[in-house]
Chain A
Amino acid sequence: MERVQSDMKFVVAVDGSDASDRALDHAVAMAAAAGGELTVVHAVDPDVYDTGGPDPEGDRSEAERRLIVEDVEDAENRGEEILEDAAERAGDAGLAVETELLYGNPVETVPSFATGEEYDGIFVGHRGLSEREERVLGSVAKGLVERAGVPVTVVR
């Protein structure tokens, strides 16, 4: 009984880690087997580079501001590289993928991207942190599971 769907669209969130590579491989296999499309996304979070605390500070020096901007640009460049590597990896496995650089906390931007563009599911890697480590570091996978309105597959 072959009932392969051809109109499925999936998102895989990557960060260049080994866990994210495994999620990518899984998503590529899934999309290929289902005859669906796959978009690889990476989120650049500008807030991470804002060292001024939760509120914007008016008295930040020009040099400090430049430093923050450069960090964001670095992150963008790194993000583009991660996406290129992922697209190449997917291509090697026989699947042409789209890529998309997102801006903001991945836990928020990835689900809103997936919902807004009517994707059928999100794939994400998980490093296998202990409960304690996860409480301290947080986990994108856990955040996506809690927030995303579309099904999320967490790959170890």
Chain B
Amino acid sequence: MYETILVPTDGSAGAEAALGEAVSLAGTFDATVHSLYVADTSAAQPETGYVDIVESFERIGEETTAEAVEDAERAGVEAVGAVRVGLPHRTILDYAEEVDADLIVMGTHGRTGLERYLLGSVTEKVVRTADAPVLTVRLSDEDEGGDEAGEENEDEATDDSAGTAAGTEEN
């Protein structure tokens, strides 16, 4: 069914949940998991030390993907880590084609507020444009209360309308 499963990661709790799902599927179908980290060039401007920022992103990527590979292998699943530089959704699609991925697994914050918009925009673009099927995994409420998203912030983002969410981040 699936032979090559791509899981883009940004080190977030959402990506972690996606990895769990990917590893479980890979175990079922004896597939290889590819953990891809994209060093986002759109976040690095030339005047702010482009090379330094991209290099530090790449280091974070090496660590993040190494951890993912370790997690997968601990579950008895073959895994490959990769770090690429570029625009996240474009780079994810290119990589998917390169390794001939037959499934892309991504996390999403299916909640209201600013956070969903920020964390979900890459997933949304990949869902809309990928040729391969895209499996999206939503964080459960318990996961969201974890280390990545403080519960207070989460509640505020949920209670406030989109129009005021940006202004109330640091109430």
Please report the C-alpha to C-alpha distance between residue A33 and residue B1 in the assembled complex, in whole angstroms. 6
Interface size class of A (residues with CB under 8 A): 20 to 34
Residue of A whose beta carbon sits closest to that of B112: A146
Task: Please tell me which one of the listed residues A2, A26, A129, A152 contacts residue B30 in the complex, with CB atoms under 8 A apart.
Answer: A2
A121 to B103, CA, bound (A): 14
Does B138 reach chain A (CB closer than 8 Å)?
yes
Whether the pair B28, A131 counts as a contact (CB closer than 8 A) is no
Question: B28, B29, B108, B116 — which one has the most chain A CB atoms within 10 A of its CB?
Answer: B28
Q: Which of A4, A121, A131, A147 contacts B128 (CB 8 A)?
A: A131
**Contact indicator A142/B138 (Cβ below 8 Å):** no
From DSSP, what is the main secondary structure of chain B's interface residues?
mixed
Tell me the bound Cα distance from A33 to B128 in angstroms: 26
Please measure, in the bound complex, the distance between the C-alpha atom of A139 and the C-alpha atom of B103, giving whole angstroms.
20
* Interchain CB contact under 8 A, A126 and B128: yes
Closest residue of chain A to B127 (Cβ to Cβ) is A154
Q: Give residues 121-156 of A contacting B (CB, 8 Å).
A: 121, 126, 128-129, 131, 134, 139, 141-142, 145-149, 151-156
Residue of A nearest to B134 (CB): A154
B128 touches A5 (CB 8 A): no
Partner of A156, one of B120, B124, B130: B130
CB A133 to nearest CB in B, in angstroms, measures 10
Q: Does B62 contact A (CB under 8 A)?
A: no
A30 located at the interface, meaning its Cβ lies under 8 Å from any Cβ of chain B in the complex: yes
Chain A residue with Cβ nearest B133: A155
User: Which residues of B sit under 8 angstroms from A63, Cβ to Cβ?
Assistant: none
| Contacting pair B133 A154 (CB below 8 A) | yes
Chain B residues contacting A34 (CB-CB under 8 Å) are: 1, 28-29
Contact partners of A102 in chain B: CB under 8 A? none
Distance of B93 from chain A, by nearest CB (Å): 12
For B30, B108, B127, B132, the residue with the greatest tally of chain A CB atoms inside 10 Å of its CB is B127
Select from chain B the residue with minimum beta-carbon distance to A31: B1
- CB neighbours of B132 from chain A (8 A): 156
CB of A29 within 8 A of CB of B28, answer no
A60 adjacent to chain B (CB < 8 Å): no
Q: How far is the CA of A126 from the CA of B20 in the complex (A)?
A: 25
Are A151 and B128 neighbours in the complex by a CB distance under 8 Å? no
B29 engages A151 (CB within 8 Å):
no
How far is B21's CA from A29's CA once the two chains are assembled, in angstroms? 18
Alpha-carbon distance A128/B76, docked complex (angstroms): 35
6 contacts between A and B (CB under 8 A): A3-B28, A121-B135, A139-B128, A148-B138, A151-B21, A154-B135
Residues of A whose CB lies within 8 Å of any CB of B are 1-5, 26, 29-30, 33-34, 121, 126, 128-129, 131, 134, 139, 141-142, 145-149, 151-156
The 4 closest A-B pairs by CB, nearest first: A33-B1, A153-B135, A155-B133, A145-B136
